[in-house]
A and B are shown apart, each in its own frame.
Chain A
Amino acid sequence: MARRTLAGMALAVEAEQLVKHYSGRGGAVEAVRGVDLTVEAGEVFGFLGPNGAGKSTTVRMLTTLMSITSGSARVAGIDVAADPDGARRKIGVALQEAGLDARQTGRELVILQARLFGSSRTQAAGRAQELLELVDLVEAADRRIKGYSGGMKRRLDLASALVHEPEVLFLDEPTTGLDPASRLTVWEELRRINGRGTTIFLTTQYLEEADQLCDRLAIIDDGLIVREGTPADLKTELRERRGLATEPTLDEVFLDVTGRTRERTAGEVQEVQG
C-alpha cells in the first residue's frame, strides 16, 4: 500500500534511504548516500544541487533506469524495483540528454512512443498531433529531428514524455541550454501540464527557475539532502539564521547550504585563471 498524506492524497514519489554506488575502474563512487524524498501528488517539486551532487543518479533510480544499491522508491504508489513496468506506465521521463532519434521525424518519434505505451495506430496519430500542438512543433513535425534546434529537441522530448498522460513527470534539467525565450515557453508548458494534474519532479541548475516553478524544493549535495522546503521557507530560514535585513535570494540559500560562499566561489575561479 502506498503511504498517504493526511489529506488522503497518494504520494507521487516516495524514496527511503536511496543509495547508489557506482563501481568503476577508479574504485567505487558513492553517488547517492541515503536520500529520503516525498513528493505529493499535484506538486511541482524541484531537485537542486551542484554538478555531480547526484541529481541525475537519483532521477535514474526513480525512473527504473538504474538499479538501486539499497533503499527503496515508490512512484505513484508502485515500487520501482519490484514492478518496473507498472511504474513505467505511470511516469513520463525526459532526461538530461534529450533522448531522440535524429533520423526520424518529430511526428514519427511521438507516434512510436505512443505505440510503445499501448496506443493503436490511429490513437497514436491523434495523440501525436495533440502533443505537437501543445509544444508548438506542428510545422516542424514532418522534418527529420536532425535539423531541429536545441529548444525544439527539448520540447519534442517533453511531448514524447507525455504520450500516456503520466501521473508523474520526471524532467532532468529541462531548460539547460535554452535561450531565455525558449525557457519561458517550457515553463509555460510545464505549468499547463501541472495544471492538468500531473505531478512534476524536475532538476535544474537555474535557481530562478526553481523559484518560479516549484512548490517545494530539495537541495542535494554530495549525495545527501541538505535542505528541503518551499522556496519561501528556505529563504526565511536563512534570513532568520543569519539575521539578514532583507529576504535572501534562492541563489544565496543554495550557496549557503552547499557550503560555497560567494568569496570561496570567486577564489576558485581565480585559481583556475591563475
Chain B
Amino acid sequence: MTHAMVLGQRALREAWRTPEALLPTLFIPLFFLVVNVGQAGKIFPTGSTPFLEGQNYAAFQLPSSILLAASFGSAALYLVEDIEGGYFDKLRAAPVSRTAIVLGRLAAEAAKSVAITTAIVLLALPFGISIASGPIGFLLLILLTASWAVVFAGFMQLIALKTRSAAATNSGGLVFFPLLFLTPNFVPRDLLTRPMEIASTYNPVTYIMEGLRSLILEDLAWAPIGRGFAVVAVLGVLMVALNVRTIRRYD
C-alpha cells in the first residue's frame, strides 16, 4: 500500500509539472458545455421540458462534460514515456507488487479527476446549475466520475502496456468517441431513435451518465446511481486485473 502511495505521489508530481497536459482536460470539457448548451439550449427551455426537472439545459449537459474530462487517460502516455525511457524497467526490477505499480498511477488519476470534476462543477454553478441531490449527491457525483476516470485510464494503460507505443495509445484513446457519443448525451434515452437507443443501451457509459444526471437533476435516486456505480465497479476490477496480469507477463 505504501508503494502504491509513493508511486501515486510521483504520478501527481508528474502531472503537476506538466500543466500543458493538465489544462486542456479542464478547458476542453468546459468548451463543449458552452457550445452544446449554446446550440441546443433554446430547443429545451426549462419550463416546458419535463426531463430537465426544472433546471436549465446546461444541468442536463454537465454529465457529458465531466465524463469527457475524465476520459483523457493521460496517465497512459506518461506510462509509455516510462517504458520508452527505461524507468518502467527500473520499477519492475524493484520488489514492488505489480498491483501497486498499477494502482499507483490509477490512484493519481482518481485524485486528478476529483480536482478537475470539482473545478468544473464549481465553475458551472454560476450558470444556474444546482446539484439537486445535495452535498451527499455532490460527493457521489465526484466519486462516480473519478471511478470512471480510473476505468478509462486503466483501459488506456492496458493499450500502453501491450503496444508500448505513444501513437497506438493515442489512437486507443479515440474509443472515447463511441463511448461518449453513443449515449443519451443530448436527450434522455427514451427520446433517441431506435438504433441509437439500442447502441446506448449496450454502452456502459450510458449508465454512468444517467447516474450522474440523476444526481444533478433529482434528489437521491438509488436505482440509477446504483447502476452507475455497479458498472464502474465491474469495469474497474476488470481493468486492474488485466493491467496486473499484463505487467506480470511483460517481457
Listed in ascending order, the chain A residues whose CB lies under 8 Å from chain B are 63-67, 85-86, 88-89, 91, 93, 95-104, 108, 112-113, 115-118, 144, 160
Cα(A59)–Cα(B204), bound, Å: 44
Stretch at the interface among B80-88, B185-193, B221-229: B80-88
Interface SS majority for chain A: loop
Can you give 20 contacting A-B residue pairs, CB < 8 Å? Answer: A65-B89, A65-B92, A91-B93, A93-B90, A95-B86, A95-B89, A97-B86, A98-B86, A99-B85, A99-B90, A100-B87, A100-B90, A101-B10, A103-B14, A104-B13, A104-B14, A108-B13, A115-B6, A116-B7, A116-B94
A103-B18, A104-B10 known; A116-B89 Cβ under 8 A: no
Contacts of B90 in A (CB 8 A): 93, 95, 99-100, 113, 160
Given A65-B92, A116-B95; 15 other pairs, CB 8 A cutoff: A65-B89, A65-B93, A85-B95, A89-B95, A93-B89, A93-B90, A98-B86, A99-B87, A99-B90, A100-B87, A101-B10, A104-B10, A108-B10, A116-B94, A144-B17
Contacting pair B6 A101 (CB below 8 A): no
Contacts of B86 in A (CB 8 A): 95-100
Contacting pair B85 A103 (CB below 8 A): no
Q: Does B91 contact A (CB under 8 A)?
A: yes
Contacts of A108 in B (CB 8 A): 10, 13
Cα(A117)–Cα(B6), bound, Å: 11
Q: How many residues of chain B are within 8 Å of chain A by beta carbon?
A: 24
Cα(A108)–Cα(B10), bound, Å: 9
Contacting pair A88 B87 (CB below 8 A): no
Cα(A91)–Cα(B87), bound, Å: 16
Cα(A118)–Cα(B87), bound, Å: 19
Contacting pair B251 A67 (CB below 8 A): yes
Contacting pair A103 B13 (CB below 8 A): yes
Cα(A65)–Cα(B88), bound, Å: 10
Contacting pair A117 B94 (CB below 8 A): yes
**Those of B10-31 within 8 Å (CB) of chain A:** 10, 13-14, 17-18
Cα(A91)–Cα(B82), bound, Å: 21
Q: Which among A66, A102, A116 is the interface contact of B3 at CB below 8 angstroms?
A: A116
Q: Does B48 contact A (CB under 8 A)?
A: no
